[in-house]
Amino acid sequence: MTTATRFAAAESGHFNAADGVQIQYRVHQVDAPRFGVVVVHGFAEHGNRYGHLVDAVVPAGGAVLTYDQRGHGQSGGRRVFVLRFDEYLDDLAQVLALAKSKLPQPLFVVGHSMGGLVVLSYALRDRGAAAAWAVSNPALVNRVAVPAWKEALAKAMSSLVPALSLPSGIPPDHISRDADEVRQYADDPLNSKNATARWYTEYVAAQQRLAASAEGLRDLPLLVQIGDGDRIIDPGVTRKFCERIGGSALRVEVYPGLYHEIFNELTADRDRVLADLVGWLTARAA
């Protein structure tokens, strides 16, 4: 199951990443285009889960491209596996090139959770690739505890058996306070329940690299949206990270009590989050 959208994709297809992995994408067009948005989804999910975001952005004049990261959703590759975290960044570079040929300009990038980690890491590499960037509950430090035995096993197997798959251990009811969203998430066959050893060590290393580089994001047009009830990613760490970025180009919005998937929260709260995002995007498209 997926989060439904009123605006069916005008186009769907795939392209081959540099190593031949097929990346699935969808484009939601708009009659009177004002800007384009690329959406980068989170860990173990897929781009078709962002229907609420599409429904908020399209009426404001934003065409939206969603895609499934490698090893996720309908894209190719071993499930939740990379040899290098930068594979996600390399794929995003190709997605942005595709988006510039299919979406109106200016182009914005929105990333959630692990997608936020990918987006912020990419912005450090090429801040001029988009007109502005937005992240929701970026995966800077996990709040869900990883058992010591599992972490030790992942580290040991990362080189020996990198594709070893282990349960992620994320309770579905941690994603949202909306019971229907939790049920859809749990029942969706395209959502992975596991992660691989190499993915985990690469993910942690990417978190550490980004944590050491916060100041490199200063003066980047950036919106950070934080649910301070997040039980998966530590919202306090994200707030401190934003303090290190500083500068007038950064906007931080904190939503009391909201869980991890703030775009899939209870209706009134979700609408407020999306209104903030759309308002920020349209102000930069003027």
Please list the active-site residues: 113, 230, 260
Which one-letter amino acid corresponds to residue 250? L
Task: Give the separation between CA 17 and CA 60, rounded to whole angstroms.
Answer: 31
**H or E element: which one contains 28?**
strand 22-28
Name the burial class of residue 216, with classes exposed (0-12), middle (13-18) and buried (19+) by CB atoms within 10 angstroms of its CB. Answer: middle
CA 33 to each of CA 56, 61, 85, 256: distance values in angstroms, whole numbers, following the listed order: 14, 5, 34, 33
Q: Which residues contact 162 (CB under 8 A, 6 or more apart)?
A: 81, 83, 196, 197, 198
Name the burial class of residue 94, with classes exposed (0-12), middle (13-18) and buried (19+) by CB atoms within 10 angstroms of its CB. Answer: middle
Tokens encoding 1: 């199951």
Task: Give the separation between CA 72 and CA 51, rounded to whole angstroms.
Answer: 17
* Residue 122 CA, distance from chain mean position: 12
The count of other CB atoms within 10 Å of the CB of residue 145 is 9
Return the half-sphere exposure (C-beta side, CA atoms, 13 A cut-off) of residue 156.
6
Tokens encoding 114: 């692990």
Task: Give the separation between CA 84 and CA 160, rounded to whole angstroms.
Answer: 15
The count of other CB atoms within 10 Å of the CB of residue 261 is 29
